[in-house]
Amino acid sequence: MSTRGSVAGLGSSHPLGGQLPAVYADDDFAQRFVEGLDVVLAPLFNVLDCLEAYFDPALAPEDFVDWLTSWVGTELDGTEPLDIRRHAVATAVSLHRVRGTAQGLARAVQLAFGVTPQIIESGGATWSGRPLGPFPGAARASLRVVLAVPDPSTIDPHRLQAVVAAARPAHLPFTAEVTGKTLNPEGN
């Protein structure tokens, strides 16, 4: 974990020497003393002057982007490239809006792995003008997420399980798998 401290050559935007009472304006010791404090305070003033940039994922320093990913609840593990982490923070609100839907699940998996998964779910919806019509979907609720990639060994199946568990509808049991082939529309 990196920390912020003094920055060589960074001047203070609010030097303390000019803000001292007039009696200390010509006092060499007082001026040198507060110059030492300016070195310590300059990075703090710099951060405060640019504070809004820290909350913009496109401009924030890398270590701050990592903190923002946890703050907005992204499903990243920290090993993703910086541009992916920045994108995850920028789109977190829109992703939370569709969380628990097939669209939200697909977007979460696609963000984490760069591949859109195939989602096979048991549910369905229909409309009928007559009562007691057949129910759509399967009698037993289920969700299957298949990630088809050229080389399945490049995908961590435990990571896929974690992403699907976080983004799926909370009441659905699920399976998540990585395969080297694309499934047909029926999930076979």
Can you give the pLDDT at residue 8?
A: 72
- Domain 101-183: give its CATH code: 3.30.300
Cβ atoms of 11 and 43 closer than 8 Å: no
Token readout for 69 is 């990913």
Contacts of 151 (CB under 8 A, 6+ apart): 180
CA 72 remoteness from chain centre: 6
pTM (two decimals): 0.65
Can you give the pLDDT at residue 188?
A: 57
- Per-residue pLDDT in tens (0 to 9) along the chain, 188 residues: 455 566 677 777 778 888 888 888 888 999 889 888 888 888 888 888 888 988 999 999 888 898 898 888 887 777 888 998 899 899 888 888 998 889 999 999 998 888 999 999 888 777 888 888 777 777 788 899 999 999 999 899 999 999 999 899 888 899 999 998 766 655 55
Can you give the pLDDT at residue 1?
A: 44
Question: Of 120, 62, 110, which Cα lies nearest the Cα of 86?
Answer: 62
Task: Report the SS3 class of residue 62.
Answer: helix
Can you give the pLDDT at residue 29?
A: 92
Q: Where are the domains of the chain?
A: 19-49, 101-183
d(CA 88, CA 179): 25
Cβ atoms of 46 and 5 closer than 8 Å: no
